[in-house]
A = this chain, B = another copy of it.
Amino acid sequence: MDGQDAVAGRYPAADVREQALARLREEGGRITPARRLLLDAITSPGHHTAGELAETVRASAPGVHVTTIYRNLDELERLRLVDRTYISNGPATYHMASVAHGHLACESCGAIADLPGEAFATLHDAAMSMYGFEISPARFAIPGRCARCT
């Protein structure tokens, strides 16, 4: 199961990072070492839990507290710079927001794959016509079984 980066990571991570920091500053936020390191971690390929991100950040700056990670992720999500994705009952995972896409999460091996936004077209239409409901595909993962685990 590849395709982890069918969507994110097309541009140098440092560019994405500085762009995100710029947006933070626009909003009256500050640029701090913790934030830069968090963005470094989150721009790396794949889907990361808050705990993993904390660990990655701590590799460079041991003092950074999980609370800081959570608060910054909240802020980045509020600015729509990152997507928070809930995978079954496990911890939420985060990745840079980019092209709209959804996720597939294997219930047995935990692998995650991205699915293009177009795959959600009929789903989107059904939700909209039946309930006037606007779906957010990026924010959740569809459970199931991947090819390897079937």
Interface on A for B, CB 8 Å cutoff? 1, 3, 86, 88-89, 92, 102, 104, 106-107, 113, 115-116, 118-123, 126-127, 130-137, 139-147, 150
Copies in the complex: 2
* Residue in B104, B123, B147 whose beta carbon sits within 8 Å of that of A142 in the complex: B123
Quick check: B113 and A119 within 8 Å, CB to CB?
no
Do A88 and B142 contact each other (CB < 8 Å), given the known contacts A115-B127, A131-B1, A131-B104?
Answer: no
Please, how many angstroms separate the alpha-carbon atoms of A135 and B150 in the complex? 11
- How far does the Cβ of A5 sit from chain B's closest Cβ, in whole Å? 14
Please, how many angstroms separate the alpha-carbon atoms of A107 and B86 in the complex? 13
A106 closest partner in B (C-beta): B133
